């Protein structure tokens, strides 16, 4: 499974919202993600993709949209 598909599945599972057609939606402004959801998302990314995201390097402005999350995980 590729990174994009996995990230979109994680977001949908955590938020109950399919964002596959809204990759530039700000998940925080829309109220879909909060601090607890962020931690759960990072745990899922680590578990499913083997990519550890240090919380100290997580900037909401760089991880706010599905596309930004996909891009950031791809870099790691």
> What are the tens digits of pLDDT across the range 25-41?
999 999 999 999 999 99
Instruction: Report the alpha-carbon distance of residue 75 to residue 20 in Å, rounded.
Output: 20
pTM (two decimals): 0.91
The C-alpha angle 54, 59, 51, rounded to 5 degrees, equals 35
Tell whether the model's pLDDT for residue 67 goes beyond 80.
Answer: yes
The predicted structure's pLDDT at residue 10: 97
The C-alpha angle 55, 48, 6, rounded to 5 degrees, equals 95
Domains belonging to the chain, first-starting first, are 3-15+24-75 (1.10.1200.10)
- Write the CA distances from 68 to 50, 52, 59, 61, integer angstroms: 18, 16, 11, 9
Q: Is 59 in contact with 12 (CB distance < 8 Å)?
A: no
């Amino acid at each position: 499974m590729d990174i994009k598909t996995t990230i979109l599945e994680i977001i949908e599972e955590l938020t109950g919202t399919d964002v596959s057609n809204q990759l530039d939606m700000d998940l925080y402004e829309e109220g879909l993600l909060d601090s607890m959801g962020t931690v759960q998302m990072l745990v899922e990314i680590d578990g499913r993709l083997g990519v550890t995201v240090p919380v100290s390097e997580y900037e909401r402005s760089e991880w706010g949209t599905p596309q930004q999350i996909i891009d950031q995980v791809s870099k790691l």
